[in-house]
Amino acid sequence: MRILCIGDVVGSIGCEFLRSNLPTLKKVKGVDFVICNGENSADGNGLTPVSAKHLFDSGVDAITLGNHSFRRKEIYDYLDSNPFIVRPANFPENSTPGKGIINVDTGRRIVSIINIMGNSYMDNNLNCAFECVDKMIKQAESKIIIVDFHAEATGEKRAMGYYLDGRVSAMFGTHTHVQTSDAQVLPKGTGYITDTGMTGTIHSVLGVKSEIIIAKLKNKLPQRFDLASGECKMECTLFDVDDKSGKCVSAESMRIE
């Protein structure tokens, strides 16, 4: 089974670029299932029912989230009702909208998708990422398990990769919006990449106009984050997973411009 994992989609410009390129990529690469991080897909951060529908209509099968999961209140009920969206599992279980794991029946195989948020340089009030992922794996209904680890620190992501090696099919990192060069299959058969990258404007700082971020860092004053426009890219990672064993056979990172 060929599973494509797409890095953080930023704003409506990222959504439109994904729509323009995903169908062809799926056909050329023989993709069976598409997972996309959509926590920045609405202009101004967060996910809305409108941006989620756009991603699904464009060929995405499942959406993962992150630290902006609950930025938009209009998504709360949608997270509870939609079986194809997963949010970080280490938010408080009884009071948080949505689910930390989803089991999606593709008609060919069930794909279990887990979303976890890192603790280093993130929200330290969240439950331990390592303990949480252990609980989620027990709820998986398939040997094909994909984990989106939404985290800041590359060391924490690498550690999580080896912690999960042999227990899940693949782990792809999100959040930093910068694609790393370490797509690989770990020794026990888990596909891995520290960060799969971003879908949005190339000449930007994480999708935002560079001059705004420079001013914020230089002057230490609040800034309105306006999204950049111009040429775009879609960064993603393709994992080839054996249906029977759930082990990853190959991992390939890509950048579509």
Residue 39 assigned ligand-binding role = yes
Measure CA of the first residue to CA of the last residue in the chain; give whole Å.
25
Residue 8 assigned ligand-binding role = yes
Reply yes or no on whether 203 is catalytic.
no
Residue 125 assigned ligand-binding role = no
pTM for the full model?
0.96
Q: What is the pLDDT of residues 196-238, one digit of tens each?
A: 999 999 999 999 999 999 999 999 999 988 999 999 999 999 9
Q: Is the pLDDT of residue 120 over 80?
A: yes
Q: Assess contact for 66 and 88: CB atoms under 8 A.
A: yes
Residue 40 assigned ligand-binding role = yes
Q: In angstroms, what CA-CA distances link 213 with 68, 118, 207?
A: 18, 24, 10
Pick the CATH number of 2-256 from 3.60.21.10, 3.30.420.40, 3.40.50.620, 3.40.30.10: 3.60.21.10
Domain edges within the chain? 2-256
Q: Assess contact for 237 and 248: CB atoms under 8 A.
A: no
Write the DSSP symbol of residue 61: -
Cα–Cα distance for residue pair 252/141, rounded to 1 Å: 26
Cα–Cα distance for residue pair 147/164, rounded to 1 Å: 9
The one catalytic residue among 6, 34, 68, 206: 68
Residue type, 44: G
Q: Is the pLDDT of residue 65 over 90?
A: yes
